[in-house]
Structure 1
Amino acid sequence: MFDPSLKTPAPRGNSLLRNPRRSALALLVAGTALGGIAVGTIEGRPAVAQTAIQPSGMAQKIPDFVGLVKQVKPAVVSITSTLKDDGSDDDSSQGGSQGGGGQGGQQMPFPFPFPFQMAPQGHASRTVEARGSGFIISADGFIVTNNHVVKGATSVSVTLDDGTVLKAKVVGRDAGTDLALLKVKPSAKLSFIALGESNDVEPGQWVIAVGNPFGLGGSVTAGIVSARGRDIGDGPYDSFIQVDAPINRGNSGGPLITQDGKVVGVNTAILSPSGGSIGIGFAIPSDVVRTVVAQLQKTGHVTRGYLGVTAQEISPGMAKALSLPATSGGPAAGALVASVQDNSPAEKAGIKPGDVITQLNGQKIANPKELAIKVADVVPNSKVTISYLRNGTTQTADATVANLANRGSSSNGQSGGQSGNPAGNGSIGVSLSPLTPELRQQLGINDGTRGVVVRSVRSGSPAETAGIQAGDVIVAVGNTMVNNPHEVVDAVHAALKKGDVALRILHNGQMAFVAVSPETSSASNGANSSGAGSDDDSGNSNNGDGSSDQDNNDSGNSNGGDQPG
């Protein structure tokens, strides 16, 4: 059917359209040529039709995936999971409730295709069927898919490309990366596909996705790699490959394949307000798949390394406050240590809050997410060398990475805010109180924590802009630990002479660094020239649950949490 929206408008600015006489001649020649007559008149001279135009240069050929598809399709399977329907709307059903999850209508992970196949009404125990995709990685029947495809399943079956249906056993699942490993018992050796090197994938490279979208098994779509290393907020180890190949519900667990026939990703999530493909899909890199699958195949579970730090990104303001090397726009490279867990490998290695981890075993660390991924990949009880900046000086330390599963209680670090005001002399706008036993009890702060309580924050001040709230505890100014309001005043006053102030605070139970830029106007509302006023009485303080929390500030920082382990 003709779609008028696809009609191509005439180009604007064409010289023939600006000259009625020449335009008419052009149309006449075109019209008579179509009728088989190739003679016209231009300015009294006969015009004879020429031979077909022969464009110069090499012709550009559109990629042809026919041969590739014939080879890889036998290794791609459809997966059906049977689940109990308890009437709840939890994530085990992978139904439409996931459709609105994430920012921007992000589908994480895919809901399964079309309405579930419900058993007749009145049965005491109803079951539903959910469908996804997977691919065979060995001739004896090991199959990779997504964890969310088989999570909560009472039984799993696999349909091969030739229609053969086999019962599958779940060998192991890993929620952290959303991967699962299945095993079937085939009557003969199966065709399988190898994992490629996702680190070699480049944006602009052609890829195909094969899977079971909307229950249509064996469907193939093609596109290009849009980006690498995408963090979509789905988990602590996000580093997805973004593709524009059409990916839809039911493609979950299917392979992303390069033109050399290697799997470089497992299709897992989409960004879609409507639930269908809009050309933004995400695949787990094959390098991650290789590591996780090897552990699942060997032990049925995944062990990850644990370092014991809470880290955050370094905003330009924070870099300035900590006197870190300048960068040409954007966050500075590295992971800023906001806190170190007691008795952790990091503490034993001498890592302290305020250090900036820049390398792990010689590999550069660009941000907290990279640190989390690289530490998680380290085999527990292995030694690593950490390079870090402390007071502008590069240092190294050796640490023995522990097992993440054996770690103690941990806390997720929150990002700190920053002010875009230029440095200058003035106040930051806070009033302080000593951390008395009464305030400790009121704020739920343990006896081991030392610092000074923020009693109030002046409206519109740099401190408020940075996200500091009443009830926050200032633990240190820069790398200087503080125990009373007067120490905070002195340390802030000294820091203001150099520019921005880096405060290490305890906010809602989370340790974080916050960069505060002084205001250029004179101090007001009783704040002294140091930018911090002190109160000797305990005063009344709340727990800092106001609307001006850190996530509402233009900090540019990410939640490091306990990501590195």
Structure 2
Amino acid sequence: MKKMLTLVLVSVLGGAITLGTYKTFLEKEEPKIANTNTQDDPVFLPTNYNTTTTTLAAAEGIDFTTAADQTVHAVVHVKNVALNTAQPTLQDLFYGRVPQKRQLGTGSGVIISPDGYIITNNHVIEDSEQLSITLNDNRTLEAKIVGTDPKTDIALLKVESDEQLPYTTFGDSDTAKIGEWVLAVGNPFNLTSTVTAGIISAKSRDLSGRSTQSFIQTDAAVNPGNSGGALVNTAGQLIGINTAISSQTGSYIGYSFAVPSNIAKKVVQDIMEFGNVQNGILGVSGGSLNSAFAEKLGIGETEGFYVDDVEEDTGAEVAGIKSGDIIKKIDNIKIRKFSDLRGFLDSKRPNDVVNITLLRDDQLKNVQVTLLKNNTFVLPFIGVIKEAKPEDLKKYKTDNGVKILRINGSYGQYLRSEGIEEGNIITAINNKKVNSIEDVEAILNNRDTYQPLSIELINSKGETNRYGLR
């Protein structure tokens, strides 16, 4: 019996070894064929059901309906008929004609008062020959331009209506936080009354690379036609005017940008009160700190605005701000880079008083600065000019003129070789006397693009010379 059991065990063991050897060394692995399913499945599938459930539950606690209902009736469809230059034919070239064609452009706008004031982007209504707006109830009204500010890309329109119009109220864009839910309301692709949702993904965003902009960045879907529309918070308050998208295709691919409401509100108020935008300046120049810049300067700070120079006769000079100071806060708004500072100052006017926290010799210092009206201007081919003080005019024995504050650019060496220096007085441009920066701006704005620039200047020797610049 024992021999029989031993024989059976040996047989089983031998068979197992033989089968294992075959599977391991001899049998070829059959290729695995995936089942093809023609059903349209979602591109993204949840992988962590517990996390997804929690996230959805949190999102369900946010109600967008009230904000959307408050805003959608205050956002209008803007139609702009513009007269543009067309492609010339051979006949046009022969007769020296400049052909023109009418082109229809569309965008969005936001009603900000019951009597029909509407805020939009300057690029939406630029070069317009005829403007109209369509309300959410399909009424169409003619619109007029009250004023524009190309620098911030904001424009103010006005329509007349027999009844009060629905409008939205301004919120405080300075208190808006990264991660906060927002709605973008507008008319993309001529699809009226469109609402999309997202979050604020960044603030003080500069797209120009010259620190001249300070946008709110969101991931709410914005497309062509949304320009001039509303960016609102969950309370339905206007915190931005949708202005631009970041795209390689011309359509939305992830991020959009809005002019902060505090800047837009200030521009609109200035246009209504003064007819133009009043900019208050601090009077400092410099740049944003980072690791490379900090190492070059030999300092340990990598955030803030580094003051390289302080302009004379400005609030910063009066307050005692010095070269080498680092501006860390302004009215309790953290300043990490120049666009933070730029965005704040764009919401202020001349004579506004601001509280500045600066770092000097590793010690924090608080100063109050009165912002002044900008009295400088960049004159092409010359550099920075400013309004001359009475003592400047007396020194050069003249009754009028503006002062060269700083010579800039590639023309600098040539200008100095001609005896033109900082401090010289420009008394006339294109044969027109100048007494102020406004005079200079008016002459340049009314000048033909290809017209040469001529200046009359008194140098440090008291000599009056005329120069032609191209």
TM beyond 0.5:
yes
* Secondary structure class of the residue paired with 1:187: coil
1:136 to 99, 105, 111: 111
* Equivalent residue, structure 2, for 1:340: 310
Q: Which has the larger share of strand? A: 2
The alignment of Structure 1 onto Structure 2 pairs a total of residues equal to 343
Query: Aligned runs of 1:261-280 on 2, under 5 Å?
Result: 261-280=236-255
Q: Deviations over 1:335-366 (max 9, x none)?
A: 11223345444445554433333344565433
What is the identity percentage for the equivalent residue pairs of Structure 1 and Structure 2? 35
- Deviation track 1:383-429 (CA, whole Å, cap 9, x = no partner) reads 5555544454555665543212x3244869xxxxxxxxxxxxxxxxx
2:338 paired residue number: 368
Query: Could you say what secondary structure the match of 1:154 adopts?
Result: strand
Could you say what secondary structure the match of 1:181 adopts?
Answer: strand
Out of 302, 310, 323, the residue aligned to residue 353 of structure 1 is: 323
- Deviation (angstroms), 1:230: 2.0
Deviation, 1:240, is: 1.9
Take 1:142 and 1:304, find their aligned partners in 2: how far apart are those partners? 22
1:181 aligned onto 2:171: no
Report if the CA contact (8 A) 1:173-1:300 is conserved: no
Q: Which amino acid aligns with 2:160?
A: K
Partner letter of residue 168 of structure 2? I
1:210 aligns with 2:185: yes
Name the residue aligned to 2:76.
77
Among candidates 210, 219, 237, match of residue 244 of structure 1: 219
Q: 1:69 to 1:384 in 2, by over 3 A?
A: closer
**For the structure 1 residues 134 and 347, does the alpha-carbon distance in structure 2 shift closer, same or farther, using more than 3 Å as the test?**
same
Cα distance between partner residues in 1 of 2:191 and 2:67: 19
On the 8 A contact 2:118/2:156 being kept in 1, the answer is yes
Question: In structure 2, do the counterparts of structure 1 residues 84 and 60 end up closer, same or farther at CA, with 3 Å as the change threshold?
Answer: same
Q: Could you tell me how far apart the structure 2 residues matched to 1:397 and 1:68 are?
A: 40
Cα distance in structure 2, aligned partners of 1:242 and 1:382: 28
1:190 Cα deviation (Å)? 0.9
Q: Tell me the residue number matched to 1:34.
A: none
Q: How does 1:162-177 map to 2 (within 5 A)?
A: 162-177=137-152
1:379 aligns with 2:349: yes
Q: In 2 relative to 1, CA 136–235 (structure 1 residues): closer, same or farther, beyond 3 Å?
A: farther
Match of 1:332, SS? coil
Within a 5 Å distance, the mapping from 1:97-176 to structure 2 comes to: 125-176=100-151
1:313 to 288, 293, 316: 288
Q: Distance in 2 between matches of 1:220 and 1:169?
A: 26
C-alpha displacement of 1:233: 2.1
Hey, what does 1:38 align to over in structure 2? Answer: none
**In 2: Cα distance, 1:58 partner to 1:359 partner:** 37
> d(CA) in 1 for partners of 2:420 and 2:193?
61
- Shift of the 342–206 alpha-carbon distance from structure 1 to 2, 3 Å rule, reads closer
Offset of residue 290 of structure 1? 2.1
Cα gap change, 1:396/1:274 in structure 2, threshold over 3 Å: closer, same or farther? same
Distance in 2 of aligned mates of 1:272 and 1:386: 37
User: Structure 1 residues 338 and 255, CA, compared in 2 at 3 Å: closer, same or farther?
Assistant: same
Higher helix share: 2
Aligned residues of 1:146 and 1:253 also touching (Cα < 8 A): yes
CA deviation vs aligned residue, 1:64-83 (integer Å, no higher than 9, x gap): 64454344322110001111
Does residue 6 of the first structure (1) align with residue 6 of the second (2)? no
Q: Tell me, what secondary structure is at the counterpart of 1:266?
A: strand
- In angstroms, what is the RMSD of aligned CA positions? 3.8
Q: Report the AA paired with residue 337 of structure 2.
A: N
Give the unaligned 5+ runs of structure 1.
13-54, 90-121, 413-439, 450-565
Where does 1:528-547 land on structure 2 (aligned, <5 Å)?
Answer: none
Deviations 1:223-243 (A, max 9, x none): 222222322227755222222
- Structure 1 residue 312: Cα displacement: 0.8
Specify the code of the residue in structure 1 equivalent to 2:78. Answer: I
Q: 1:254 aligns with which of 229, 237, 248?
A: 229
Please tell me whether the aligned partners of residues 87 and 99 of structure 2 are also in contact (alpha carbons under 8 angstroms): no
Please, what TM-score do these two structures have when normalized by structure 2? 0.63
Question: Given residue 80 of structure 1, which amino acid in structure 2 is its aligned partner?
Answer: K
Following superposition, the deviation at residue 194 of structure 1 comes to 1.3
Asked if residue 230 in structure 1 is aligned to residue 200 in structure 2, the reply is no
TM-score (norm 1): 0.53
State how far apart, in whole Å, the 2-side matches of 1:443 and 1:272 are: 42
Q: Which has the higher contact order (CA 8 A, sep 6+)?
A: 1
Q: Can you give the 5+ residue segments of structure 2 that lack an aligned partner in the other structure? A: 1-36, 89-96, 385-411, 423-470
